[in-house]
Chains A and B, each alone.
Chain A
Amino acid sequence: MSLDHHHDEHGDKLLGSDDFQQARREMRRVLWRPGLRADTQVSITRRIFIHRALLGGTAAAAATAGWLPRINTMDMAFAQEAGPPSTFRFAWISDTHLYPKEVNTRFVEKAVRAVNDVKAMDPPPDFLIFGGDLAQLGDPVELKLGAEIINELDVRKVFIPGEHDWYLDMGKTWNELFGTSPWTFDHKGVRFIGLDTVSRAMDFWTARNMTPTERMAAMATLDGALGGAWAGLGREQLDFLDRTLSDWGTDRPVVIFSHNPLYEYYPPWNFWVRDWREVHEIVKPYTKITNIHGHTHQVLYNEIGAMRSIGMLATSWPWPYAPEGVPKLTRPMLRVDPGDPFDGVGWGQITFNADNQHVEHEYMMWRKDILATSQVDSGTGDNPTTFLSPRPDGR
């Protein structure tokens, strides 16, 4: 059976059915405001890229187009770098969703495990990027607990916020503890950019007289409609991105960190940024550009134009793949055992390899097999025949 659900005959039939189209229209009516539709002019390319799969310590070639291997090797060269390029690694942790310790120690244990794993990296990473959603409900207690856990790491740390960190006090505690976004720095020939994709929700709370706690609860509900299409960069950040790239050669490597993916995957869960078309307009001339993002809690890979996009794991829990919109280039992860709190989660290790001038990403999931080899065991296995609907009463 094909893993690509768009080619599934039964799925095609259902996708074309009146019921499904009706549900789809309903979903769009509820959540997609005018002007937020996908730009059909944007082409999604299926570029061939070199990749390897590591199994039992032995490198095995696996050149299946459209399948993201465990190690994803990307051609981000240091060609224009002054001096000899040197190999370096960095680590990604995100989506720890910490509650106060007395409510839930499981998420704490998993965050600590990820931090200990990063601590054990040898040689150590040049830096850690924390990709947002440190806290579950933006509580200063949660954010401080997170800071405590991450500060155990004796490496440079950079941070971008998630919506769960923001909407109790509108980023006050976050900015005090971790600094403001966006930001940029150059490191060994790569320009790194950190964006804030979460703070620009349209105000849904004032007119409803909501308390900060109620506002936060609404934003913390992935399938809640109140926040609408909250993920976005906004004009000033788009200008910042444009300015930041303007003095960087178009063939030099760029890595953009964001909490939400910088393309349209599934808007009802804000698996996108609403101004992703503008982002792609800005990055279009750059040939070695990679977006590394959190929020989706799953193995994810996409390419749009020249930009490659990697979705990172959460340490807290895995989201199911959205019922539609999973990029065709994504090789889905195995379905998860809900009885094992350490399944389907983990962190990320990214290596800039000076010898072959590639960037390699490795999903550090706490299980032996990560990627599905058949549809029945795949996290997207049920997508062809599962048609979901938005919640009642526009909740």
Chain B
Amino acid sequence: MRATRSSWVALLAGLCLAGGTWLVLPEPPRPALAHKEPHTSEQLKLFQDLFMEQVGIGDLLFHGDAETERRLGVTLSKTGWACAMCHPYASDTHPAQFPKWQEQMSKFATLRDMINWCIEKPNEGEAIDPDGPAMKALEAYITWSNRNSPLQPGVH
């Protein structure tokens, strides 16, 4: 009986604290009207242009463009080898199959893991930031090039 009374006291105290916190904390910033108003055709074009800009950068990186590598501060290869030399049209990159078990790494891997494996092993380059701009651009190019392939998660 005594234990039950203590529980009620603890619950009341918790509620008071939570309420107080709610009153004190500032309101989080709201996204700038995202999805609140219909998109204009200009907006949609802008989104697509921004995406294709990344595809273009990824294409340059994928094809060993030294200037783009320098600008983004990455070294994708030290052998003269470029990604496209084994993957013309981003073939055999299989973005639609990741994440999956990847034999070479003996781990459950993402496409980004695989990109870095290729950079480090066959290309003997330096692994890039998995969340950095070079990785995002490479991912954009690879997925765009394979956009007509169906999703096949986990397929070897």
Which residues does A use to contact B, with CB under 8 Å? Answer: 14, 19-20, 22-23, 99, 103-104, 106, 136, 221-224, 268-269, 317-320, 322-323, 337-339, 341, 376, 382, 385-393, 395
Contact = CB atoms under 8 A, between A and B. Distances in A.
Contact of B146 (A223, A337, A386, A395): A386
A387 B149 CA distance: 5
A339 B104 contact: yes
A223 B88 contact: yes
5 contacts: A99-B79, A269-B88, A338-B104, A385-B152, A388-B90
Q: Which of A99, A136, A389 has its CB near the most chain B CB atoms (within 10 A)?
A: A389
B135 interface: no
Q: Which of B84, B122, B146, B148 has its CB near the most chain A CB atoms (within 10 A)?
A: B148
B80 A103 contact: yes
Contact of A338 (B63, B79, B86): B86
A388 B80 contact: no
Nearest to B52: A392
Contact of A20 (B89, B104, B148, B156): B148
B91 to A, nearest CB: 5
Given A104-B79, A320-B87, A338 B121 contact: yes
Interface residues of B, number: 32
Contacts of B122: 338-339, 341
Given A221-B63, A338-B118, A14 B88 contact: no
A385 B149 contact: yes
A104 B81 CA distance: 9
B148 to A, nearest CB: 4
Given A317-B81, A339-B121, A387-B148, 5 more contacts: A104-B80, A221-B63, A222-B85, A386-B92, A386-B146
A386 to B, nearest CB: 5
A323 B152 CA distance: 17
* 8 tightest A-B CB contacts, nearest first: A223-B88, A387-B148, A388-B89, A320-B92, A222-B88, A104-B79, A99-B80, A103-B80
Q: Which of A103, A268, A269, A339 has its CB near the most chain B CB atoms (within 10 A)?
A: A339
A51 B156 CA distance: 32
A395 B79 contact: no
B150 interface: yes
Contact of A337 (B87, B89, B104, B152): B104
B59 interface: yes
Contacts of A317: 81, 85-86
Contact of B84 (A136, A222, A339, A382): A222
A201 to B, nearest CB: 18
B86 A223 contact: no
Nearest to A386: B149
B92 A382 contact: yes
